[in-house]
Amino acid sequence: MKICISSGKGGVGKTTLVVNLAYCLADKGKKVLMVDGDLGLANVDVMLGITAQKTISDVMDRGADPFDALIQLTENLSVLPASSGAPDMVSLGPEEQNLLGQYLDGMVGKFDIMLADTAAGIGPSVRWFNQFVDHNMVVATPDPTSLTDSYALMKVLKQEHDIRGFHLVLNLVKSREQGEKTFATLADAAKKFLDLHLQYLGPVLEDEAVPLAIRNQKPLVLTSPSSPASLTIKELGEKLLSW
Ligand SMILES: Nc1ncnc2c1ncn2[C@@H]1O[C@H](COP(=O)(O)OP(=O)(O)O)[C@@H](O)[C@H]1O
Ligand SMILES: [Mg+2]
């Protein structure tokens, strides 16, 4: 199963969600491949305090073996890192897209779940990941600018790539109720103007343990497993397992 996480707007919690969901799913016994699909401004490695020897860009540009670039974090969890400051990678041309697809398809068979982080915006690499995967996750926050950007992202993905199924996560919510209300607003607009039926995967609560975990470069679900954000991310993981 291949999943990618996008948002339109940056800074809404995509990388946090990918990293922590990956640990949750691996903890449930799934073999998880985390892909840093933010090809130009990677930060999965930064969030985990690891150093990549080889990255997706070495694989694509220099024909390195994709399996050599994998970093095994735990028995069940590996990450395919990207490089930061690789602007070329952001606007993948058709040939590079094919190549990346071949590399990833060659790897995903060894895993139960591929979770790909993606860049901000609605550029070529974001669109490519969204049409490559089986499930499209979109992260937004109750901030109006995040909601309009996630709406714009879904609009482009539907109109230009015929993608119609979106699983929404609302991050940085102060309560479950705020998450539900915000989802209802977004889902109404998507239904009315885009004829899209959004699925609500659930909320991730705002939690001061999140920035702390990032500063310590350790996954939140390991360092603060019972903090509000960890508990809500674990619930999302449980739902994912039922897909
Ligand atoms: N649930 C949360 N509670 C508090 N802060 C959060 C939460 N999720 C994300 N953040 C903060 O938001 C910032 C951006 O998160 P990040 O995962 O890097 O977003 P993105 O990958 O979408 O750019 C981080 O500095 C993090 O501390
Ligand atoms: Mg990110």
Residues 203, 71, 220: CA angle, nearest 5 degrees: 30
Out of 4, 117, 171, 210, mutate this one to test ligand 1's pocket (max ligand atoms within 8 Å of CB): namely: 210
**Alpha carbon distances (Å) from 232 to 128, 180, 202, 203, 204:** 29, 14, 8, 6, 5
pLDDT of 94: 87
Name the CATH superfamily housing domain 2-241.
Answer: P-loop containing nucleotide triphosphate hydrolases (3.40.50.300)
pLDDT of 110: 96
- Would the CB of 173 count as within 6 Å of ligand 1? no
* CA 176–ligand 1 middle distance (angstroms): 18
- Would the CB of 13 count as within 6 Å of ligand 1? yes
Q: What is the 3-state secondary structure (H, E, C) of 71-113?
A: EEEECCEEEECCCECCHHHHCCCHHHHHHHHHHHHHHHCCCCE
Which band of pLDDT confidence, cut at 50, 70 and 90, is reported for residue 62? confident
The pTM of this model reads: 0.96
The size of the chain, in residues, is 243
- Minimum mean pLDDT range among 2-11, 81-90, 198-207: 81-90
- Would the CB of 38 count as within 6 Å of ligand 1? no
Q: What is the mean pLDDT of residues 175-199?
A: 97
- Minimum mean pLDDT range among 53-67, 86-100, 154-168: 86-100
Q: What is the mean pLDDT of residues 76-100?
A: 86
pLDDT of 64: 83
pLDDT at 96 over 90: no
* CA 9–ligand 2 middle distance (angstroms): 10
pLDDT at 87 over 90: no
pLDDT at 163 over 90: yes
pLDDT of 95: 87
* CA 86–ligand 1 middle distance (angstroms): 22
SS3 5: strand
pLDDT of 85: 79
pLDDT of 3: 98
pLDDT of 73: 96
* CA 127–ligand 1 middle distance (angstroms): 22
What is the DSSP track for 30-65? --EEEEEE--SB--HHHHHT---SS-HHHHHHH---
- Would the CB of 211 count as within 6 Å of ligand 1? yes
pLDDT at 86 over 80: no
Q: What is the mean pLDDT of residues 75-87?
A: 90
pLDDT at 18 over 80: yes
Residue 139 CA: nearest ligand 1 atom is 22
- Would the CB of 46 count as within 6 Å of ligand 1? no
Question: In this structure, which residue's CA is closest to atom 17 in ligand 1?
Answer: 13
pLDDT at 142 over 80: yes
Smallest CA-to-CA distance from 56 within 47, 66, 44 is with 66
- Would the CB of 19 count as within 6 Å of ligand 1? no
